[in-house]
Amino acid sequence: MVGEEVRVDVEAVIEAMTLEEKCACLTGEGYWELGGCPRLGVGPILVSDGPHGLRRQAGAADNLGLADSEPAVCFPTASAAACTFDVGLVRAMGEALGDEAREQGVAVVLGPGANLKRSPLCGRNFEYFSEDPYVAGHLAAAYIEGVQSRGMGTSLKHFACNNQETNRLIVDAVVDERALHELYLEPFRIAVERARPWTVMCAYNLLNGTYCSESERLMGQGRAWGFDGAYVCDWGAENDNAASLPAGLDLVMPGPRPDYRADVEAAVRAGALPEERLDETVRRVLELHAKHEAARGMDVRMRAEERLDVARAGWTCGCARRSAWTWRAPSLRRRRCCWKTTACCR
C-alpha cells in the first residue's frame, strides 16, 4: 500500500481560502508540481510526461528531457500500439502506466494524445493513435480507463487540431464545422464520453482565429460532452491572462506564474471577474487533488517485470500484426486483450 487515503472537503477548503490562495491554485507551483493549499491540508501533487513511459524528473526539470529521469518502462508509442487494434492491450498498458505512476508518486500522466495524423511532418505523430477518428477515440478511451482504474489521472491532449509541426505554437488551424466535428473533435468526444479523463490539455495553436487555451467555444464543447474535469494548457500555451480563465481554462502550466496570479487577483478585486467564477475554476483544480488523495491507499498490482511483459506484448503484437492482420470495426468494439493468450505475444 502506497499511502493512507485522505478525504479532501473541497467546498470547505474553498470557503476558507483567501483570494491569494485561490489565485495560487490556478498555476503550477513548479514545472511538474501543483501546489494545492497546504495551510488547509491540500498537499501538492505531481504530473508527468509521458504517454508511453513516465518521465519523472526528481531533480532539475525541463521540457526536452535533458535532465535525468527516474528509471521507467518504455511502452510502445501510440502509433505502434494502434497497429494491434487491440483495445484490451492498450487498456493493459494504461493499467501498467497507472501502477508505475503510483510507485513514483505521480498523480496525473500527461496523455494520451488523440489528435489525428494529418501530415507526415507532424512531430507528435508518434504519440497519436491513428488517422481515423473512431480508432483514435476508442484507443484513447481504453488508455484512459486503464490509467484511471489505478487511481491515477490522465490528460487527454492536444485539444484541438494540433496536427502539424510548422509554426505549431502560433499556427491558426482553419477548419470548417463539418470537418471539425466529424474528424478532428470526434476522437476527443469518444474519449470524454467513454472514459471521463481527469483533465484535458489545450493545444498551443489557434483554432479558427482563437488560441485553444482561450477558446470558450472549444472548451464549452468539451463541457457539452460531459467533461467535468480541469482544463490545463500545454506547457507555455497560455497566451492572454485576461481571456484564459473567463473562456474556461482552469490551470496554467508550468508554474509558478506570478503574473497570471496577480492579474486574476486584480480582476477579481476590480469586479471584472466575479469571485464565484474564480471559485468554479478553483473547485475543479482542488477536485483533481481530491481524486488523487481519495485513491492514495490503493495497492500497486503490477510490479516492474509484469509491466515490462505488457510493454513487450505491445511491441511484439504491433510488429506481427501490422502486415498480417486485417482489422474490421466490430472487432475493435468487442475484442478482449490478447496479450496473455496469443502466441505472437510470447
**pLDDT (0 to 100) of residue 335:** 38
Q: How far apart are CA 133 and CA 329, in angstroms?
A: 12
Q: How far apart are CA 189 and CA 13, in angstroms?
A: 32
Compute the C-alpha angle 161/208/210, nearest 5°: 95
What number is the average pLDDT over the span 91-105? 96
In a domain, 2, yes or no: no
In a domain, 35, yes or no: yes
* Listed range (4-13, 39-48, 290-299) with the worst mean pLDDT: 4-13
Q: Could you tell me the pLDDT band of residue 4, with boundaries at 50, 70 and 90?
A: low
In a domain, 334, yes or no: yes
The whole domain housing 14 covers: 10-345
SS3 content of the chain, % helix, strand, coil (to 5): 45, 10, 45
What number is the average pLDDT over the span 24-46? 96
**pLDDT (0 to 100) of residue 68:** 83
Tell me the pairing of strands 206-207 and 45-48: unpaired
Coil vs helix vs strand at 229: coil
Residue 326 has pLDDT above 60, yes or no: no
Catalytic residues: 234
Contact 147, 154 (CB under 8 A): yes
In a domain, 5, yes or no: no
Residue 45 has pLDDT above 60, yes or no: yes
**The three-state (H, E, C) secondary structure of 78-90, written as one string:** HHHHHHHCCHHHH
Instruction: Output the domain CATH number for residue 249.
Output: 3.20.20.300
pLDDT in tens, 175-210: 999 999 999 999 999 999 999 999 999 999 999 999
**pLDDT (0 to 100) of residue 11:** 97
How many residues are given for the chain?
A: 346
pLDDT in tens, 52-77: 999 998 777 777 777 788 999 999 99
Hey, which residues does 173 pair with through a beta bridge?
207
Which residue from 301, 305, 200, 291 is spatially nearest to 253, judged by alpha carbons? 200
Counting the structural domains of the chain, the total is 1
Q: How far apart are CA 169 and CA 246, in angstroms?
A: 22
pLDDT in tens, 203-226: 999 999 999 999 999 999 999 999
In a domain, 1, yes or no: no
pLDDT in tens, 249-283: 999 999 999 999 999 999 999 999 999 999 999 99
In a domain, 3, yes or no: no
In a domain, 56, yes or no: yes
